[in-house]
Chain A
Amino acid sequence: DTGVSQDPRHKITKRGQNVTFRCDPISEHNRLYWYRQTLGQGPEFLTYFQNEAQLEKSRLLSDRFSAERPKGSFSTLEIQRTEQGDSAMYLCASSLARSGTGISYEQYFGPGTRLTVT
């Protein structure tokens, strides 16, 4: 178990540019979550996947944001035409939803990708 990894750890971009972040979950975990955290606040839910299916998206996730998990393993989060308000820490978490219950509560977080839009 190597934990959840995220890449890059830091990204500085100019307003209007596109950026893409990657998350590698714990290998046996079938659920993957994206959160956004701004300074002084707790993480806010953005979206989640069960295997390769994206099952829920927050209203926080504007049309400029898109997430994929093509093979049910790693995931990418892309932000198009970045704005200064997108500056935040983007957190990925994974968990194991056991068959028969579907509900999993214990999430394991990666170190995050800090995005700065100038």
Chain B
Amino acid sequence: GDSVTQMEGPVTLSEEAFLTINCTYTATGYPSLFWYVQYPGEGLQLLLKATKADDKGSNKGFEATYRKETTSFHLEKGSVQVSDSAVYFCALSASNTNAGKSTFGDGTTLTVKP
């Protein structure tokens, strides 16, 4: 079945450091790919998405490129801030069904220190 694998955390960075969180997936067909963020005490928020190969999703300085050849969707940010501290989830939504449900990775906790 479909699956998403994220790099294990937690990740601790200093402010203004470069961030990469790796995500790879297994799915049939051409899924849509997402990054969600969960701040402490809050629900999941969609951070960015890409719906086809080579698409780049971007939002709030974060970027991720849909790489079908490597089945990856790595999240990057050039300069992190303390306010980026949160749990980040990679997810996919399979295209071979009409359900629109998502399959999530286990999340990566990011802590940014001043």
Contact = CB atoms under 8 A, between A and B. Distances in A.
Interface string A45-62: 100100000011000000
B73 interface: no
Interface size on B, as a range, is 20 to 34
Interface string B81-94: 00000000101010
A106 B34 CA distance: 9
A4 interface: yes
Majority SS of interface residues in chain B? strand
A42 B105 contact: yes
Interface stretch (A14-22, A63-71, A73-81, A108-116): A108-116
Interface in B3-51: 4, 32, 34, 36, 42-46, 49, 51
B42 A48 contact: no
A91 interface: yes
Contacts of A103: 95, 98, 100
Interface size on A, as a range, is 20 to 34
Nearest to A92: B43
Contacts of B103: 45
A102 interface: yes
A91 B101 contact: no
